[in-house]
Structure formats: structure tokens, C-alpha cells
Structure 1
Amino acid sequence: MITSLAYFGVTSPNHKDWETFGPEILGCELVQPGADGAVRLRFDEMECRLTIHPGERNDVAYIGWTTTGEKDAEALAERVKAQGIAVHRATTEQAASRAVIGYFWFLDPAGFRQELIWGQLRPRTPFRPGRAMSGFRTGDQGLGHVVLGVPDVAESDRFYRDVLGFHLSDTVVDGPIHAHFYHVNGRHHSLAIARPPSGKSSFLHIMFEANSLDDVGTAMDLCEQHGVPMTRSLGVHTNDRMTSFYLHSPAEFRIEYGWGGLEVDDLWVPRYYDRTSAWGHHHLNKHLSHFLELGDAGSKA
């Protein structure tokens, strides 16, 4: 029923910085701002996949998931309700602000606002990257992946799998890291959950996948030229084989910027690893914490 990561929204007092950071560093297309002055960024044929709303603090606002249609979104909403969780249907105006036909929203067990959407809009104009690049790997695989820090990994694992229908790709246990990775399409994982260092619900990172390794190298060069902190060096993950590096965004969360992620299929059997990376991904910028965690979950933007 859930087929991909549709979009991601945050609040930030530094939202205006994304007007240059998005196009010049990431390669997104800057599109018309939201009614609240939000910076809206385009990654592909969809109207908008990343929105940074003005706010007093850096926080997760919402995470949108594409479903197979209104009927299936409603069926998922009923399954969520059966867990004793309040579910709300977006108004026409709320749906329009997300550039979708409609959605249901709720707060998951860790407090993150999840949105089950249908009818994501495609404008007539083609996607134009903000800088020279080959574009992003999206399409049926969606925006990329999100990694959430959840206080009760077992509870969230049951919810995402048994209620929302995510499929386990693998599990990584490496020192303090205990993480589950889930797929809903050919992308190795669209969602991962981990026990956060703080013990509280927090946002750990979002991944964007470029269409070429050269795009990743260019992004690294641009980070150096513009003084954008890189938090992990270039490396390859053990599980999804993504070649990537991590950078610090103006909204105080990490972005994994990568290429070449592994694809899975319906016959995939979950695997288990004792290391997060096969090589690289060394910690950089020692003044930044081991894990950069973004705010508390559950913003109502």
C-alpha cells in the first residue's frame, strides 16, 4: 500500500539559507515558496519533495509516504486507528499545500508526524537542476530514505512492519548502533530506525541519491568551496552498498548524499551486519556530535 517516500518537511529559523544551499550544493530546483514563506525544492518531475518552513527551532514537521490510492490510504488509516492512534484527514487546503490530491496524517509511536498521501502532482514544466548535474534517482523509488531515532526500537519495528506494511531489508548491530532498514520498493531502504544516542525521538538523517558518482564528487567539492561542514567522509555502506558522504544542512540535520545504492526484489531475504560501512565514512568535524540529532518529533506544521 505504501510505495515510496513522497516528501519531507522541516521547520527551521534558517529556512532562507536553503534558497542557495538547495540549488547550489544539492542541485535541487528552487520553486515557488509556500504560503508561509517556506522554501520548496524540487528533485524530479514532482512539484516539490522537500520543504523548509520558517520556525523558531529546527524540527521535523512531517514525512509523506506515497500510497496506491485513496482507498488503500484509508485502509491503512483504519489499521493505524485500530492501534489507538488518532488519524486526521487533510483539508483541501492542506492537501494543496503539499501538492497532492489528499492525505491522512497521524503521530507514530515515536511521535513523528506521518502522512499517507495520494495523487502527488506533476507540473507541466520539466525539472531543471539548480547546478550542472545528471539529476536524482527517484521515480518509483521515491525521494530517498529517512533514518529516525526511536526510543523503543521493538515497538516501532512492530508498528512499521505489522501496521504500515514495511518490509525488513536487514539489521545492523555495531557498538551502540542497533538499526533496522525497511523497503517498500526496489530501493534497499526508504526507512530506517535506530536507537538514538539521546534515548529520545530524534531525526538522524535523510539520503538523496544522485544519478552519477561524479555528482557526489562535485557536491563534496562544493561543500569545501562554500564552507559546508561534512560530517562523514566518502565511504560505502555494508548493507545498501551506497557510495556516499554526509554533510551538515542549514536546518541542523545530516544529509547523506550518495550514488549506486543496491536494489532489492520480492525474493529478498533479510540480512544481518556487524558494521555500518565496508570502508570510509570516517567522522569529520570533531566539534559536531557523533550523531547529529534534530529536535523532538511530532511538529504539527
Structure 2
Amino acid sequence: MPTPRLSPSVFGNVHLGYLVIETQKFSEWRRFGKDAIGMHLDELDSNTMRFRLDDNECRFLLQHGPAEDVITMGWHVDDHSTVDRIVSRVTSHGVPIHEGTSEETALRGVERLLRFPGPKGIVQEIFTKALTSAQPLQMHTAAFVTGEGGMGHVAITSKKPAQIRGYYNTLFDARLSDYIDETMNGVKLKIRFLRVNERHHSVAIAAVRGLPIDPIRTRVQHLNIQVAELDDMTRSYTRVKELGFRMALSVGQHTNDRELSYYAITPSGFEWEVGWNPIVIDENTWEPSTHKGISIWGHSMVGQTIVDKLTQFRTAGTSLLAKEETVPAISGNGIRDSRTRNA
């Protein structure tokens, strides 16, 4: 059983605010983020760039390094009392918290941040105030949807999905939205979708059923952002293809959140989902359920080669012996799948 949380709940007061990506492929990311996806680009120096989706100074911070991966998730917390509750939950389990330096806060465009370890080595950061920019947005997209639901979601593959679910339940009172059972390339997956506010999910956790393997090299399998207009989703899909970036899944519609989207492959190798019009959850009526397959239609695999499949098999085999970070002090024993609404 997971360790009981301190009350009151912080559900609804936490929103995905920014992501930090470590990469050495700045020229490719410049073309991908600005020209293909259509975000606003700010180049700070030769080793640092940021992408904006709205008035916030930073939604994606790209820093020079070898990981080619998302290394940090930043969570916008509504007020200082909620921060205090989250901090108490972390420290009461013996997990250290560190305050960000002035340089780190400036790069992320926030006033102050606190940092602590997260599952799969993805550092978690919380902040209360994001700085805004007076510089007009220069984007190929009319608008992105952020607001109360946060800036999108992150999907993770894991050998220990119950522990990751337990982690976000302990920290943010995450609620289970639903499950998806899917088979891809002969591999059976169980995907859990967790919400921390009105967005259908801020974290998705995929696990191979019956086997302790992780077929994905990166910590994050994909991240998602949402456009305000359908035309912006289809136009960015066209730009991604015309600019020569690889597509992972064609345009389709999901079974659970009903979002229309496509998945492109980023220069760092993880996937980037651009979506439109997912449902917003009504807490008074929503009940978790299980869906068969990720898509009502579309989302066909695009251009996967035998080399891609062999690489994935090799990664899965290697993961059998690799230790996965779960922050056990916070994750407890995880949450069994028999738990439902507010587990």
C-alpha cells in the first residue's frame, strides 16, 4: 500500500509548465521546432535555445548535452500553500529537495524553483510564477492550448508502471483517467493515463504486459502539445513531411481522449505529438474504463524499417538487466490496477 498522503488534496492546482531537453543537435531542433512544428524560437546562445507556445518566456528549454532526451519536467503550482504541501510530501519520505540557482530559474523563465528526483531519472521541478515576455510571438501556428490543463502531456514506458503511478499519486494526487490495451509489432501494452487537473492526462505510462522490458531508449516515449485550430495541426503535419523529418504515426483520433493528432520523430529520437480538441474531463461524471487500441481511426505507422525494429528489440533485451529508477521512497509499493477513481 502507498504511504498515506497529507491532506488536503493538491489535485487541480498543478499544471505541466515546461520541459528541459538535452541535445547536441541544435540546428536540427531549430528547424524542427520553429519551421516544422511552428513554435516561437528564442536563441539565447550557442548552447541554449527556448521555444514558446504563449506569453510564458519558456515552455521548452534546450541545453547542450549528450542525453538526446527530456531530462526535466517543470510543474506550475498555483500557490505557495500547495507548494508547501508538495514539499512536505517529498521531505517526509526522506527525499532531498534542492532550490534552483538564479541562472537555472532565469533559463526556465520562472521566479523560483524547487527540484527533486523523479521516475526514470527525469528530474521534477515545481514553481509558482512563470515570467512572461513582451516580445510578440512569431509562430507558424495561430495559438497553442495551455491554461488550466497545462501545456500538454508526457508519455513514459516503464517496467514498473505501478510505482510511477504511485509516485504521481503521492506528489500530486493524480487520478486515473483510463487504460488502453494495445498491441504494437506483436508486443502487448497496457497504458495508464493519469491526470492532475482537467486535462485528460498529463502523464501516460506504457508497460509491456507479462515481460519486464522497456523497448524505448529515451526516458520519454513522446510528448504532446495542443493547437487551438484544426488547420494548424494539419498544416504542421505537412510542414514536418516537407522539411524531411520522419513521421512515426499518421493523423488519427484516439479512443480515450478523442484527440486528433499525429506523431513526428524529433531530432533526439523521441516522438512529438501535435494534437487538437481532446475532451476536458468533468470530475462529477468521469469514471475510468479500458479501451481496446489507441485509435478510433488513423495513427498508422509510417516508414518503420527493419533496422528500426531490430534496434527496438535490442533495446528491449538490454533493458532486462537494466535498473529502472522509481524513487521508491515516494512510490511506495505502487497502486494496483484494481484501484479506480481517485487512486
Asked whether the 8 Å contact 2:158–2:214 carries over to 1, the reply is no
The answer as to 2:206 corresponding to 1:198 is no
What's 2:257 paired with? Answer: 240
Q: Which runs of 5+ in 2 are unaligned?
A: 1-9, 326-343
Instruction: Name the SS of the counterpart of 1:31 in structure 2.
Output: strand
**TM norm structure 2:** 0.79
The answer as to 2:127 corresponding to 1:110 is no
Asked whether the 8 Å contact 1:167–1:182 carries over to 2, the reply is yes
Deviation at 1:29, TM superposition (A): 0.6
- Percent identity at matched positions? 28
Q: Select the residue among 82, 99, 104 that pairs with 1:94.
A: 104
What's 1:62 paired with? Answer: 72
2:42 partner amino acid: V
Instruction: Name the SS of the counterpart of 1:95 in structure 2.
Output: helix
2:266 partner amino acid: S
CA RMSD, 1 decimal: 2.4
- How is 1:13-162 mapped onto 2 (pairs within 5 angstroms)? 13-33=24-44, 37-129=47-139, 131=140, 133-162=141-170
Asked whether the 8 Å contact 2:143–2:228 carries over to 1, the reply is yes
CA distance in 2, matches of 1:159, 1:51: 24
State which drifts further: 212-221 or 159-168: 159-168
Q: Which runs of 5+ in 1 are unaligned?
A: none
- How is 1:160-199 mapped onto 2 (pairs within 5 angstroms)? 160-175=168-183, 176-195=188-207, 198=214
User: 1 or 2, which has the higher helix percentage?
Assistant: 2
CA distance in 1, matches of 2:177, 2:127: 23
Asked whether the 8 Å contact 1:149–1:193 carries over to 2, the reply is yes
2:224 partner amino acid: M
What's 1:4 paired with? Answer: 15
Deviation at 1:96, TM superposition (A): 1.9
CA distance in 1, matches of 2:168, 2:150: 18
Asked whether the 8 Å contact 1:151–1:199 carries over to 2, the reply is no
Instruction: Name the SS of the counterpart of 2:221 in structure 1.
Output: strand
1:26–1:98 CA distance, 2 compared to 1 (3 A): same
Instruction: Name the SS of the counterpart of 1:177 in structure 2.
Output: strand
Asked whether the 8 Å contact 2:194–2:201 carries over to 1, the reply is yes
**TM norm structure 1:** 0.89
Runs of 4+ that moved beyond 4 A: 289-293, 295-298
CA distance in 2, matches of 1:84, 1:221: 49
Deviation at 1:291, TM superposition (A): 7.3
Answer with 1 or 2: which has the greater Rg. 2
Residue deviations 1:184-215 (CA, integer Å, cap 9, x gap)? 22221111112265268721100111111111
Deviation at 1:116, TM superposition (A): 1.1
1:291–1:262 CA distance, 2 compared to 1 (3 A): farther
1:152 partner amino acid: K
